[in-house]
Structure 1
Amino acid sequence: MAKLTSPSISITFIEKAASLIERGSRGIVALVLRDASVTETPDTYTVRDVSDVPTSISDANQQYIKDALKGYSKAPLKVLVYVMPTTSEKTGELYTAMMKYFETETFQWMAIPTVETDGKIEDIVSWVKSQRDNNNFMIKAVLPNADSADCEGIINWTSKLYKDETSDNGDNTVTITRKTYTAEQGTPRIAGILAGTDVTISATYAPLKDFDDVERLDPEARNTAVGAGKLLGFWDGEKVKLDRAVTSFVTTTGVKGDSFKKVKLVEDMDMIKSDIQTTIQDSYIGKYANSYDNKCLLITAINGYFQTLVNDGIIESGTAEIDIQTQRTYLESMGKDVTVNGETKKPADLSDDEVKVANTGSHVFLRATVVLLDAIEDVSLTINV
């Protein structure tokens, strides 16, 4: 007798879960630059380490790529570099083409160190919201001074960074020049940090040791800024650090609560949603008859995926099940009686168990409840002496 194995969709989900840790600690950065070396058609590069950085572009743009590659707990998996011309009269067309290009690329974080200068912050905010809400493309962008974004997919980076550069005068003296990185110029570094943050930790208090100082705010102003959805840097007395890793989302609703304010939790939610969505598309849709037994197969596979995430410390718990209320509403909308177990009834008269097994055509209605695990960020310690 042939050896039996788990159904293939369960195996696929388990493989997805097993790889989530690796993917979650090595995200992909989409970096959009403008350079005089490009005259018409934008140039594109895939950069995995500093040896791949193109030398045809300016030193400043090369540095932006290197900034993104630094990461945090790990380096990003890669940086997708899109280099546009500097022609100002075509800025609108260039950004439109760039957004179309990245709609077919896989990445998690975007940075554009000229987006504020180009006057395109609002366009990028609108595009990111549209991709997340309408296309289920769970991308995020680090934008400078995007105070009105109010979106979990937009990180509103607002701090200036400072770096001391030393030059030898040739007479046994040196000159120290303090270089300022504006908020928009700092976005590649921040995107790289977030792309290189392990899925089990947060970027809160991530050190930026490659900078020597940061635009300083007093504690009260920092608290106010963080509460307004601004990601800041601060000086801890010895080095520059990120403040609490927050998104620009501030207006909670019945659908979106405080979890959408934290970068770590949003990243976890995005990866889980993308995993389930792509696995269902690749391994389930069109490959199984829509019977109750096959719906249960899918539910079991998703719950197995959740359990693997529980074991890896990414979530506290997760459960998927048939969405009885939505399925009942669908059956009622069809405007006809339903036959279940040889008996014909009106949809409103069906029991919950009968709704579960009812024929729903090509539709599968599921709901899942997931409890996310946050990182340690707030510690209260009382010392008695």
Structure 2
Amino acid sequence: MSKLKSPEVNISFIEKGESAIQRGERGIVALALSEKTKMEAFTAYSVTDIPSGLSAQNAQYVKDALQGYEVAPKKVLVYVMQGTPEKLNAEYTAMLKYFAQTKFDYLAIPTVKTDGKTNEVVTWIKSLRTEQKLKRKVVLPEVAGDNEGIINVSASLTRPDGTVLTPEQVTPRIAGLICGTPLSISITYAPLKDFIDCQRFTKQEADEAVGAGKLIFMYDGEKVKVNRGVNSLSTTTEVKGDSFKKIKIVEIMDMIYEDIRRAWEDTYVGRYANTYDNKCLLITAINSYFAGLVRSNLLSKGECYIDIDGQREYLKQKGVDVNNLSEQALKEENTGSRVFLRANISILDAMEDMDLEIYL
């Protein structure tokens, strides 16, 4: 006899993959900093929100995160740890617990590699995305995360005063850059005007780095730019194809998942009888959401419908003779508390590659 569990929201994206709630164009940066003295967490909407007690270096990290791209991030949530060796383990545990219960889009920790906590954060973000179904992401330095929720910064940047930032010190800037990028465009070739140089790569080296899921930079002779907006995913499967390697595509996938989940939990769970007519109302709401994303040039198409295969398998397990039911009868059959839906969508990528032949 199966035990009752919490109501489930199982929304999967199988290489194609969106509810009825619109998402803002600006994301939320989570920033974990280390100071000699413990400080209260604070929220920065602009540089004027940076407390005077923060060290100059940490204040700069907040400013870096606030830079954004097309726009500034919506806000930067700053958690300040007491960065002494004897406090390190407890502080990281408390920080990760804090952010697990806080809404954010991208987390950056500019001392994570120095602190020896990279692998711990990798495990945490993977668990957050898979087990807790929270589609959060993290920007980490030089880590083979092989996961669409991990951005692997693998190059240094140089400030105008000649200061060279290591990849881990660059992570707040990249988290802010992504959070300030509208979903209709990507960060590929995004200019970093607050830097004058970067770690240089040959064409072959750059291609190999991008192929390995590394986010690197390039200098085009005039300015520093992001090479290609990729995450750390390098191993593809039938479920996760090449599209899962792109930050822009995953951003839209995650938005779709969380929008639908939020609308489901806030509007539908426990409030409607699980009839065929109410399932159709839910499908209509989701398809209206898809239509809005098509109009916003985030999708080229999107359609939600009843998952006949999933419903048939459920009814078989309940002892229903599904072989004698028509497709419409299958759709209308009682499925208890379960709602089986499937969606096919096509996410629009940004223009990043061009083939141009010129003939004389």
TM above 0.5, yes or no, is yes
Q: Distance in 2 between matches of 1:359 and 1:99?
A: 42
8 Å CA contact retained: 2:34, 2:82: yes
8 Å CA contact 1:116–1:144 kept in 2: the answer is yes
Partner of 1:188: 172
Shift of 1:304: 0.8
1:230 match: secondary structure? coil
Aligned match of 2:147: 151
| Structure 1: gaps (5+ residues) | 1-12, 166-177, 338-345
CA displacement 1:166-199 (0-9 Å, x = unmatched): xxxxxxxxxxxx2110000000001100000011
Between the aligned partners of 2:137 and 2:172, the Cα distance in structure 1 is 13
1:349 aligns with 2:324: yes
Q: Is the 8 A contact 1:37 1:56 kept in 2?
A: no
Unaligned stretches of 5+ in structure 2?
A: 1-18
Aligned partners of 2:31 and 2:327: how far apart in 1?
50
Where does residue 310 of structure 2 map in the other structure? Answer: 326
- 1:291 aligns with 275
The equivalent of 2:3 in structure 1 is: none
Output the CA distance in 2 between the equivalents of 1:31 and 1:164: 23
- Look up the match of 1:81: 78
1:317 to 275, 289, 301: 301
Q: Which residue of 1 aligns with 2:97?
A: 100
Q: What amino acid maps onto 2:67 in structure 1?
A: K
* Shift, 1:245, TM fit: 0.3
Map 1:1-385 → 2, pairs under 5 A? 13-14=19-20, 16=21, 19-20=22-23, 23=24, 25-38=25-38, 43-147=40-144, 149-165=145-161, 178-334=162-318, 336-337=319-320, 346-385=321-360
Residues 160 and 194 of structure 2 are in contact (CA less than 8 Å); yes or no, is this contact kept in structure 1? no
Distance 1:92 1:253 in 2: 35
- Flag the structure with more relative contact order, 1 or 2, with Cα contacts below 8 A and sequence separation at least 6: 2
Instruction: Kindly state the Cα deviation for residue 54 of structure 1 after the two structures are TM-superposed.
Output: 1.3
Give the conservation status (yes or no) of the 8 Å contact 1:328–1:348: no
Name the CA distance, whole Å, in 1 between partners of 2:279 and 2:208.
48
- Separation in 1 of the partners of 2:100 and 2:171? 20
| Deviation of the 1:352 alpha carbon | 2.0
Q: Which amino acid aligns with 1:33?
A: L
**Partner SS, residue 126 of structure 1:** helix
Q: Give yes or no for contact 2:303–2:343 (8 Å, CA) kept in 1.
A: yes
Separation of aligned partners in 2, 1:125 and 1:79 = 21
Aligned residue type for 1:111: A
* CA RMSD in angstroms, aligned pairs only: 1.0
Indicate the SS of the match to 2:76. strand
Q: Which amino acid aligns with 1:228?
A: A
Higher strand share: 1
Q: What is the CA-CA distance between 1:89 and the residue it aligns to?
A: 2.1
- Displacement after TM superposition at 1:135 (Å): 1.3
TM-score under structure 2 normalisation? 0.93
Give, as a single letter, the amino acid of the residue that structure 2 aligns with 1:382. E
Percent same amino acid at aligned positions? 51
Give the deviation of 1:164 after TM superposition.
Answer: 3.1
8 A contact 1:332–1:348 mirrored in 2: no
